[in-house]
A and B are shown apart, each in its own frame.
Chain A
Amino acid sequence: MSETDDKHAVPDMPDTTGTITMEVARFRPDRESEPSWDSYDVPLRKEWAVLDGLNHIKDQLDGTLSYRWSCRMGICGSCGMTVNGEPKLTCSTFLTDYAPGPVRVEPLANFPVIRDLVVDIEDFMAKLPTVKPWLVSGDEEPAEDSEYRQTPAEMDDYRRYSMCINCMLCYSACPVYALDPDFIGPAAIALAQRYNLDSRDEGNEDRRDVLASAEGVWACTFVGECSVACPKDVDPAGAIQRYKLTAATQAVKDLLLPRGAR
C-alpha cells in the first residue's frame, strides 16, 4: 500500500482482500469425547494475526470458542497454538502468510487439552521451580542500599536466555518431550542457565542435581526443534548443549579428583 492510500484508509475498515477459512480444532469435554473441527470464514486483512481471526470468530461468529491470550504483542506467552502443524504465537503469526488458506489452528501439541485451544500447562509449571529460576545468593544478606554491579559483558553471558516468555512452544516442538514427559524440557533448562551464567548467582550447585540427571540435559538428543520454534530466539538447544559440557566436565572431575579439590 502506498503512503497516499494509507491516508485515505478508513481506520475501522482496513484493507480487506477477501476472506480466509480458519479450521479450528474444537474439544468440549462436556459434550464430546474426541476433538473435532469447525470451519469459519474470517476477513483476510493484512494486519490481522491468527489471534485476530480467532477474536473475530469469538466476537462475531461463535462465542463458545475457548483459547488463551492476553498481551497481543508477543510478550505474555499465553497465545501459543499449533498453526498449520507448527507451534506459533498466534498474536505474531499473520493470516496473510497462510493465504489463500485454509489455516488450521490446533492446541499446542504434547500437552493435555482442557477445552478447544486451551491446554493444561501444569506439567511445565511444576517443573520450572525445580531448577530454581531465580538468583540464589550465599548466606550473607546484602546491606539495604548495596547494589550488585555487572558489566555489559557479564550480562551478555545470560541475556539471551533471559528473553524467555514461558510460551512453551519449545515443549510443543520437542520430540523427546513427546516421548518422555519426565524430561525437564528446553525452557526450564534455558532458564536454569539464565541464572547459572549470571555473575550474581551462586545457585549452580543447587541446580545441578536436577539439570544433570537422566531427566535433565541427558534426556536431550539434540534434535534442535526447540530453537527453531522459539519466538524469542532464546536457543534452548544451545543452552542444553552448553550445560551438557558443564555437567560432563563436572562428572569427570567427580571421578578423578578427591572431594576437596572439585
Chain B
Amino acid sequence: MTTKRSPEPFAWLLFSSGGMAAAMLIPVLLLLFGIVFPLGWLSAPSHDRLAAVLTHPVTLLVLFGLCVLALFHWAHRFRYTLYDGLQLRKAAPVIAVLCYGGAAVGSVIAAFVLIRAL
C-alpha cells in the first residue's frame, strides 16, 4: 500500500469546489439571462448598468474564480474519463499534465480576457 503524499487531495479540492461553484452559479446565470430576462418576468438591466456591474473588480474576481474552478473541475473529470473510460492508464502522467495544464492555460486566458474588460 502506498503511503506517499500525493497531490490528489488538492486536485480533488479544486474539482469539488469547481463542481459546487458551477452548480450554484451557472444555473442562476442561465435562468436570469436565458429565461427570466428574455421572457420579461423581470425587467432586464440596461446595457450601461450591466456593463458597470460586469466591469466592477469584484464581479471580475468572482467570474475569474468561477472560470478557474470550473476549468479545474473539467480537467479532473476529463483526466479520469481518459484514464478509465478509454483505458489509458499507462499514459497517466501525460494525461494529467495535459488536463491540468490545459486548465492552467485556460485560467490565464480567462484572466487576460477579464483584465481587458477593466
Contact = CB atoms under 8 A, between A and B. Distances in A.
Interface of A: 130, 175-176, 179-180, 184, 209-210, 212-216, 218, 221, 244-245, 247-248, 250-252, 254
Contact of A251 (B4, B9, B80): B9
A175 B81 CA distance: 12
Contacts of A216: 1
5 contacts: A184-B1, A218-B9, A244-B9, A248-B13, A251-B10
Contact of B84 (A214, A218, A221): A221
Contacts of B80: 221
B84 A175 contact: yes
The 9 closest A-B pairs by CB, nearest first: A251-B9, A248-B9, A218-B8, A209-B3, A221-B80, A248-B13, A213-B2, A214-B6, A214-B2
B56 interface: no
Contacts, number: 47
B47 to A, nearest CB: 42
Contacts of A184: 1
Interface size class of B (residues with CB under 8 A): 10 to 19
B16 to A, nearest CB: 8
A179 to B, nearest CB: 6
Chain B: interface secondary structure?
A: helix
Most interface-central of B2, B4, B8, B16 (chain A CB within 10 A): B8
B3 A218 contact: no
A212 B84 CA distance: 20
Contacts of A209: 1, 3
A213 B84 contact: no
Chain A: interface secondary structure?
A: helix
Contact of A215 (B1, B9, B13): B1
B1 A218 contact: no
B6 A215 contact: no
A248 B14 CA distance: 10
Contacts of B1: 130, 184, 209-210, 213, 215-216
B2 A179 contact: no
Nearest to B76: A221
B88 to A, nearest CB: 11
B10 A215 contact: no
B12 A218 contact: yes
Most interface-central of A184, A215, A251, A252 (chain B CB within 10 A): A251
Contact of A176 (B2, B16, B84): B84
A218 B7 CA distance: 10
Contacts of B84: 175-176, 179, 221
A252 B8 contact: no
A252 B6 CA distance: 12
Interface in B6-37: 6, 8-10, 12-13, 16
